């Protein structure tokens, strides 16, 4: 939908609903969240949520729209000759997940995917169709390896920010980078040219 045709009030309401949805899905997972709960949190009538998005399913998909293209970002990281891509990607995950606001859509997606088939579909679709088939070949990483790198990164945020197990939960981000990036680099399976 083009932004130009939307009145300011409409956009604000829509954004408020999406922000509320990210929080609601993040806290309760897909099954626990509800259109009514999202509407209450956004301070709007549930009918308005239905008006903008239709079903809970559609609110979820809209709320999960990441405000940037992960493919472009990964391509930039992998092709940057100045920085080690494994360190950059581990540092990026730690920075985004270390910020309560920035991690909200990702936390919502991951949490929901754990308990709801519908939400798992969304994440599976992204990983299978976009990460493995489109992004991986473009950045020169085998699709299976891309899935295993995603495993390392999802696992790290799971243990550090969701389970919050010590000492990982309180470890200095740079200490985590030091210990973890070499393992991510190894799974990348890049030629020596890419290694530092």
Nearer to a copy of itself, 11 or 178 (CB): 178
**Footprint of a copy of itself (CB under 8 A):** 28-29, 32, 110-111, 113-115, 120, 123-124, 127-128, 131-132, 143-145, 147-148, 150-156, 158-160, 162-168, 171, 175-176, 179-180, 182-184, 186-187, 189
Instruction: For the chain, state the CA radius of gyration.
Output: 18
CA distance 135 to 74: 8
CA distance 165 to 26: 19
Nearer to a copy of itself, 47 or 169 (CB): 169
Nearer to a copy of itself, 16 or 162 (CB): 162
The least distance separating a copy of itself from the CB of residue 7, rounded to whole angstroms, comes to: 37
The least distance separating a copy of itself from the CB of residue 103, rounded to whole angstroms, comes to: 14
Residues 6+ apart with CB under 8 A from 122: 60, 61, 64, 109, 113
Are 105 and 180 in contact, with CB atoms under 8 Å apart? no
């Amino acid at each position: 939908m083009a932004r130009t045709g939307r009145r300011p009030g409409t956009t604000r309401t829509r954004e408020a609903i999406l922000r509320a949805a990210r929080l609601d899905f993040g806290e309760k997972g897909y099954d626990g969240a509800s259109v009514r709960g999202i509407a209450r949190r956004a301070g709007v009538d549930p009918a308005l949520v239905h008006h903008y998005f239709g079903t809970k399913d559609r609110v979820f998909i809209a709320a999960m729209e990441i405000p940037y293209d992960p493919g472009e970002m990964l391509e930039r990281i992998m092709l940057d000759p100045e920085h080690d891509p494994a360190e950059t990607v581990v540092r990026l995950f730690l920075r985004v997940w270390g910020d309560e606001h920035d991690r909200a859509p990702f936390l919502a997606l991951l949490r929901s995917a754990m308990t709801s088939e519908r939400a798992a579909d969304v994440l599976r679709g992204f990983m299978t169709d976009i990460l493995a088939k489109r992004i991986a070949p473009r950045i020169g990483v085998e699709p299976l390896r891309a899935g295993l790198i995603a495993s390392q990164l999802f696992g790290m945020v799971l243990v550090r920010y969701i389970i919050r197990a010590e000492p990982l939960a309180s470890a200095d981000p740079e200490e985590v980078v030091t210990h973890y990036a070499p393992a991510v680099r190894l799974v990348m399976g890049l030629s020596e040219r890419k290694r530092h």
